[in-house]
Amino acid sequence: MSRNAGYMKKLRKARVERKQCIRCGKPLSQESLIRGVKQCEKCLDYQRKRKLGQISSKVNTTYFYNRQYKKDEIKRKELGNFMVENKITIKDLAKEANLSQRTIQRILYTDANYTKKTKDAINNYLGKELL
Ligand SMILES: [Zn+2]
C-alpha cells in the first residue's frame, strides 16, 4: 500500500468497526462476520475474478444500464481537491475502488463521460458523494 493512503486506511478501519465491507461500505452478512472476512461476497468475487484475469481492469461502458453521466466540471474538481487534501493517489483510488488508473485519469483530467458503475465505485469507496 502507498504511504499516502492515510484517508483510506482510516475509512477502512471505520468500516471494519461498523461491520461494513471495506471496499464498498455495504453491511457485511452474518456469514462474513463469522468468517472474519472484511469484504462482502460481491467484492471478494470481483477480486477473485480479476486476479484470475476474467475481468479486465477497464470498466465496460457498453452496457445499456451503465448510463453515461454528463460532464460535470465542478464535481471533477471537487474529487481532485478531495484526493489532494486527503493524499489519495490515482493509483490508490484505482486499486481500492477496483477501477483502472486510466478511468480515474479520464475523470480527473478530461471531459469524458463516466458510467454509473464508475461513479458508484468511487463514491462508495471514498464514503462520500463526490461525483
Ligand atoms: Zn463490498
CA 42 – ligand 1 centroid, Å: 6
Distance 65 CA to ligand 1 centre (A): 20
Give ion ligand 1 contacts, CB < 5 A.
Answer: 21, 23-24, 40, 43
Give the pLDDT of residue 1.
47
Give per-residue pLDDT as tens, 37-83.
899 988 888 888 777 766 655 444 333 333 444 456 778 888 888 88
Q: What's the gap in Å between 26 CA and the centre of ligand 1?
A: 6
CA of 53 to the centre of ligand 1 (A): 19
Q: What is the pLDDT of residue 4?
A: 53
Nearest-angstrom CA–CA distance, 11 and 38: 13
pLDDT at 3 (0 to 100)? 52
Kindly give the distance from the C-alpha atom of residue 39 to the centroid of ligand 1, in angstroms, as a whole number: 5
Q: For residue 115, which of 62, 72, 74 has the smallest C-alpha distance?
A: 62
Model pLDDT, residue 15: 92
- The pLDDT of residue 40 is 92
* Contacts (Cβ under 8 Å, ≥6 apart) of 10: none
The stretch 22-44 carries a mean pLDDT of: 89
Helices (H), the chain: 6-17, 30-35, 41-51, 73-85, 90-96, 101-109, 116-126
Q: For residue range 89-129, list pLDDT tens digits in order.
A: 888 889 888 999 999 988 888 878 888 899 999 999 888 88
SS3 77: helix
Tracing cell 476474467 back to the chain, one arrives at 54
Beta-carbon contacts of residue 102 (< 8 Å; ≥ 6 apart): 58
